[in-house]
Amino acid sequence: MTEELEHVSVERVEKYLDITRRARAKATPIHPEGSNEANQLAVMIRMADDYASDAQHFLNIGDRVRAFGAINYAHAWIDAGVKLGLLDGHGDDVLFTLP
């Protein structure tokens, strides 16, 4: 295994924190507030935000592996919202897996 694959650097975690922040800011809800879909999306966004917060916490205490895992979970929740048609990814196939 190469050194890069064996080591999760602070820079790598910060890169993914930034990617997830950009995805969170770019993706917008599709369904009107109060709809069943919007309520489902609220749960997904809460999960994304919680995992992003956990990632930052883990990074702050020096646990880069858990930080990396948590930020990838956070991004996955946002990406799932786009894939399921609850969020509009605005055609960005770099930040999202588009439907």
User: What tens digit of pLDDT does each residue of 36-74 get?
Assistant: 999 999 999 999 999 999 999 999 999 999 999 999 999
- Using CA atoms, how far residue 43 sits from 20, 47, 48, 60, 97, in Å, is 17, 6, 9, 26, 20
48-84 residues labelled b (16+ CB within 10 A) or e (exposed): beebbebbbebbeeebbebbbbbbbbbbbbbbbbbee
Q: Is the pLDDT of residue 6 over 90?
A: no
Phi and psi at residue 87, to the nearest 5°: -125, 145
Name the band, by pLDDT with cuts 50, 70 and 90, for residue 7: confident
CATH architecture for residues 8-88: Up-down Bundle (1.20)
Report the 10 Å Cβ neighbour count for 1.
Answer: 6
- pLDDT bucket at 88, cuts 50 / 70 / 90: very high
For residue 98, what pLDDT is reported?
82
